[in-house]
Amino acid sequence: MKELPQSVLFCCDHNSVRSPMAEGIMKKFYGTGTYVQSAGVKNDMEIDGFSIAVCQEIDVELSRHRSRSFDEMERWGDDLSSFDLVVALSPASQRRALELTRFFHLDVEYWPIMDPTGLGETREAKLDIYRQTRDQIIQHLKNRWGEPTERT
């Protein structure tokens, strides 16, 4: 268990499911002491409704999240080099993060988080799969930084 970094960037393929969930849950668990953002390799999808729903269950608000890509981040002045840690939640985002950070001294970690999109036939089945993804993220956060410091 390590102390919280000053800043963390979560990334996945589209910044619509896994990375916004991780961003929202981390903010809820550990408060505002750490600057937390998320990005995708591509930004071609809005925040996923099932992600919003399963995070709402644990009181994490994602409906205002706006998806963005690494390229947009840089355009908006959120330089990758300003993050202490990049956590990649998909193989493609890990490759992209390593590519973008090879010039900086920056830690990139890979957490193998299941992509729930397209799985499950019914709404209930889909929600169950998204809950598994959410719970994987929670488990990784706790393994990395311990029990939540904020009242949940």
Q: Which of 144, 149, 147 is nearest to 1 (CA)?
A: 144
Backbone angles phi, psi at 103, to 5 degrees: -90, -15
Domain ranges of the chain: 7-145
- Percentage of the chain beyond pLDDT 90 is 64
Q: How confident is the model at residue 1 (pLDDT cuts 50, 70, 90)?
A: low
pLDDT tops 60 at residue 30:
yes
CATH code of the domain occupying 7-145: 3.40.50.2300
* Mean per-residue pLDDT of the chain: 90
Q: How far apart are CA 78 and CA 72, in angstroms?
A: 9
Strand arrangement, sheet containing 35-40: 35-40, 7-12, 85-88, 107-110
Q: How confident is the model at residue 113 (pLDDT cuts 50, 70, 90)?
A: very high
- Percentage of the chain beyond pLDDT 70 is 98
Judge whether 97 and 11 are in contact, CB under 8 Å: yes
Q: How confident is the model at residue 66 (pLDDT cuts 50, 70, 90)?
A: confident
Q: How confident is the model at residue 119 (pLDDT cuts 50, 70, 90)?
A: very high
pLDDT tops 80 at residue 124:
yes
pLDDT tens by residue, 74-107: 888 777 778 889 999 999 999 988 888 787 777 8
